[in-house]
Amino acid sequence: MDTPLINGISYSWGNIVLVLFGVPVKGITEIEYTSKQKKENNYGAGTKAVSRGYGNEEFDASITLYREELARIKAAAPGKNIMKIPPFPIQIAWINETGQVDSVSLKACEFTELAFKAAQGDTSHKIKLPLIVADIQE
């Protein structure tokens, strides 16, 4: 696997720009996404696979935001419920010092859960929001 290097420097969190609802999000602390496809050997006579079957591709993601960022999203959501927001895209871009862009687009995202956790000693409140995703285009 080739690692994208810029003058010997690998991409880092500081190179990421995430766009949600058409606006770059500053209060994000984590983005995670997964693409997977079920693949299964098919067996016939004997003990070895005679073919392979391919199932659906599945995509999911999550973003972690500061509570203040979530409040901005909720304020614009139908009924202030983020799970009622219609499907939306998320664009993620890694931008290097020379302006070159490497990007990923998460298509038809919807929030699936809202949970909150805080503990003594926390200096900020972060909320992880799971997403259902229709496609991931790189």
The model's pLDDT over 76-88, given as tens digits with 9 standing for 90+, comes to 999 999 999 999 9
Can you list the pairs that 53-56 forms with residues at least 24 positions away whose Cβ atoms lie under 8 Å? none
Burial class (CB in 10 A: 0-12, 13-18, 19+), 131: buried
Task: Evaluate whether 25 touches 18 at the Cβ level (below 8 Å).
Answer: yes
Residues 50 and 126: beta-carbon distance below 8 Å? no
Q: Are 113 and 129 in contact (CB under 8 A)?
A: yes
pLDDT score of 9: 61
pLDDT of residue 1: 47
Residue from 129, 118, 138, 113 nearest 20 by CA: 129
pLDDT digits (tens, 9 = 90+) for 105-128: 999 999 999 998 889 998 999 999
